[in-house]
Amino acid sequence: MSRIAKQIFDWVDERAGLRELSDKMLNEPMPGGSRYAYVFGSILVYIFVIQLVTGILLMFYYAPTADHAYESTQYIINNVEYGWFILSFHFWSSSVMVVMVVIHMSQVFLWGAYKKPSELVWVVGTVLFVLVVAMGFTGYLLPWDQRSFWATTVGIEIADKVPLIGDFIGQFLRGGPTTGAHTINRFFVLHVMILPLAIMGLATLHIYLFRKAGPAGPYKGTHGELTRTSEYFFPRQVYKDSVAIGIVFLITCALAFYEPVELLQEATPEPGDYNPIPEWYFLFIFQMLRYEMFSGEWGQIIGSIVIPMAFMIWLVAIPFIFRNPERRLWKRKLGIATWALILFAVAWLTYDFSITEVH
C-alpha cells in the first residue's frame, strides 16, 4: 500500500472503524475449526446478493404493467444481449435459494443449534424462510404468460380460503375482484421493494443474533476438536465458503444454459385447456389437495390452509417445544423422526404430482 493510500485508509478508519469491523467479521471462532458444513449461511447471503444484482439488471428493461410485461419479458429474452441468461439465472437462483434454506434449516435442526441461547436465531430464520418462498411466489407472476398468470390465480384463490382474513388477503393481492393490471403492479412492488427490504433487515438481525449467541457447531461429544477455538473465520473458512459459492454459481449457470426460461402464450382471462402448475416448491400442496380426504370446501381449507399454517407454527415453536439442552441425535428421537417424516412427505407428494402429470 502506497503512503498516500495508507493515509487515506487511516483517515477513513479513524472515522468509520474499518479495522474494528473487519476484526469482528473475520475473527469469529469456528467450533472445531473450519469445515464445509458451515458454508450454507454464506451461500444464502451470496444468492440473495446475486438476486438483487440480476433483478436490478432486469428492471432496466422490464415494464410492470399488464399490457407491457409479457412484451418486455420477450424483449429481454430475444433482444437484450445475454438477457435470456440473466433472466434464467435469476429464475434458477430463486429455486436454489429455497433448496439451500431447507438444507440450512435441516442442518441447524439436526445439530440442535436452535437450543438456548439460539432460540431467536431460529425464529428469525423461520420468518426468513417464509419471506424467501414469498419472493418466489411474487416473482412467478411477473413474466405474465399463461403459466405464471393461472398459477398465481390459483395461489390467490387458496389465500382467499383463510378464515376471517382471506377476503382481505385476496383483495389486497389482486388489487380488485379478479387477477389483472393491479395485481401485477402489487406483485412487482412486493417482489422488488417490500420483500427484499424485509429480508435485508431480518437477515441483518439474524446475523447479529447469531454472533451474539455464538456458533453452536455440531452437537457436543462427537468431535473432540470442537474444543479447539484458535481457528477463526478468516482465512480457511472464507476459502471454503468461496469454494462452495463457486460450486453453487456453476450449478446455477448450468441450469440457466441448459434449461433457459421459456414463455408460454401471453396471459388471458380464459385458461382454455391449460392446466395451471405452480412452482415446484408448491407442488406438494397441489398434490395433497387432489386426495379424496381433502375434497369438498372444508377439505380444501384443511389441506391448503390449516396444515401449512400448523406446520409454520410448529417450526416457530420448535425451540420452545424441544427445550431439553441435549443435542445428540440419539437423544432426540422424536424431534428427528418428526423432521424426517415431514421432509419425506413433502418429497413424496412432489414426486407423486410429477408422476401423475406425466401419466
175 φ/ψ sector (left φ>0, alpha ψ -120 to 50, else beta): left
Arithmetic mean of pLDDT over the chain: 88
**How many other CB atoms are there within 10 angstroms of residue 192's CB atom?**
21
- What's the CATH number of domain 31-274, 1.20.810.10, 1.10.260.40, 2.30.33.40, 3.90.190.10? 1.20.810.10
**What would the pLDDT profile of 71-104 be if each residue is shown by its tens digit?**
999 999 999 999 999 999 999 999 999 999 999 9
Whole-angstrom distance, CA of residue 46 vs CA of residue 69: 28
**What would the pLDDT profile of 156-200 be if each residue is shown by its tens digit?**
988 888 888 888 999 999 988 888 889 999 999 999 999 999 999
List all residues 6 or more positions away from 308 whose beta carbon is below 8 Å from its beta carbon.
Answer: 285
**What would the pLDDT profile of 210-238 be if each residue is shown by its tens digit?**
988 877 777 654 444 455 555 777 788 88
306's grid cell: 390449516
pTM, two decimal places: 0.90
What's residue 1's pLDDT? 54
**What would the pLDDT profile of 270-302 be if each residue is shown by its tens digit?**
766 667 788 888 999 888 888 888 888 888 889
Percentage, residues of the chain above pLDDT 70: 92
Q: Which residue has the cell 407442488?
A: 283
